Amino acid sequence: MTEERRQIREAIKALCSRFDDRYWSEKDTKHEFPHEFRAAVAQEGWLGITMPQEYGGAGLGVTEAALMMQTVAQSAGAISACSTFHINLFGPHPVVLYGTEEQRRRIIPPLLTGADIVAFGVTEPDAGLDTTSITTRAVRDGDRYIVNGQKVWTTTAQEANKILLLTRTTPREEAKSRTSGLTLFYTDLDRRYVEIQAIDKLGRNAVDSNATYYRDFPIPVDHRIGAEGEGFRMLLDSLNPERILVAAECVGVGRRALAKAAAYANERRVFGRFIGQNQSIQHPLAASWMALEAADLMVWKAAALYDAGKPCGAEANAAKFLAADAAFDACDRAVRTHGGFGYAREFHVERYLREIMLPRIAPVSREMIMNFISERVLGLPKSY
């Protein structure tokens, strides 16, 4: 914890304190995007913490970004607050690494000021985690591509004016490998050609998730990022940082839920005594504290490896797995510590529990992480 990192944490904590549980509960209930919060984040310059300095960013690493997102997640906004700008941190990474100089200067500054909001179009209903099986097709037509297909779980598409879109430019059966023939675009989310339907879902209701339909959607050739057919390889550079950030966010949410539970247990009296005196309350909360702290150590190990330019796939995946499980248990125990009141919106812990379901599923499932560790770390044969 350097002085710079301590300042980041305190500044973010002060920003988030202006948006309390009541604010986020109202946004969740009304399914309203938290424009005020995102504007505050943009105004104080946090949208560019990981972007290069020459384009207006701070040029910091995943360690600082994870510290920032963990602090946001530990605030009243939990996962919803993180999701308002999470993609800004490493979503544009392919543009930084593989885009032209003209593209970087055109794309990055408006993202950092908040003038542009980008959605991420990768997942498809019939492909799921098998990204190489996507079928959204981009066909070259002179100086443009024509795109047709469907995406699902496109976050913030209701608010976005830009889309980072993965397409197939070569049919899978004609591609030289499973991972080739995929092409990445960064372009305008033109609603004349894109239909956006919100998905009614369990939690994170302040930030929309959507099904998106692309019908003869024209994209200029100069909106393609990198070479045609190399999109999958470009996305890989964002996977480990994304897992590290999600893991850090999970620890933050878990800690907030645990603090709420401990505070309630110290105030609630049943049968003439504070419920916090009962070991049936104490022990699960103590176990959650230990699990969260252990997961947190893996977060910073993975972040340090990434920032040092060293392989971190196993550590990044393990951090996401451990943190999501530990946070889910902490939120579940927070609800049960509150008893019947935990089921009431008034105490907010039910919202944390609904939101923490998401990182157990996305961006990669627990089962796929265990497959990765089995194959890449333990040397076991591939099972799928």
**Whether pTM exceeds 0.75:** yes
In this chain, the answer to whether the domains covering 3-113 and 233-377 adopt an identical fold is no
Domain boundaries of the chain, sorted by first residue: 3-113, 118-228, 233-377
Q: Tens digit of pLDDT for each residue in 221-237? A: 999 999 999 999 998 88
Domain spanning 3-113, CATH class: mainly alpha
> How would DSSP label each residue in 204-225?
-TTS--EEEEEEEEEEEGGGEE
Positive or negative, the CA dihedral 239, 244, 247, 248 is negative
- The CATH-assigned architecture of domain 118-228 is Beta Barrel (2.40)
- What is the rounded CA–CA span in Å between residue 152 and residue 58? 32
The residues, any chain, with a CB within 8 Å of residue 356's CB and separated by 6 or more, are: 78, 79, 250, 253, 254, 257, 324, 327, 328, 331
pLDDT digit string (tens) for the chain, length 384 residues: 899 999 999 999 999 999 999 999 999 999 999 999 999 999 999 999 999 999 999 999 999 999 999 999 999 999 999 999 998 888 888 999 999 999 999 999 999 999 999 999 999 999 988 999 999 999 999 999 999 999 999 999 999 999 999 999 999 999 999 899 999 999 999 999 999 999 999 999 999 999 999 999 999 999 999 999 999 999 888 899 999 999 999 999 999 999 999 999 999 999 999 999 999 999 999 999 999 999 999 999 999 999 999 999 999 999 999 999 999 999 999 999 999 999 999 999 999 999 999 999 999 999 999 999 999 999 999 988
Query: For 292, what's the count of Cα atoms within 13 Å in the CB-facing half-sphere?
Result: 25
What's residue 324's pLDDT?
98
- Collapsed DSSP state (helix, strand, coil) of residue 62: helix
Please give the share of the chain, as a percent, with pLDDT higher than 90.
Answer: 95
Query: What is the CATH code of the structural domain delimited by 233-377?
Result: 1.20.140.10
Secondary structure of 136-190 in the HEC alphabet? Answer: CEEEEECCEEEEEEEECCCCCCCCCCEEEEEEECCCHHHCCCCCCCEEEEEEECC
Task: Give the DSSP letter of residue 375.
Answer: I
Identity of residue 37:
F
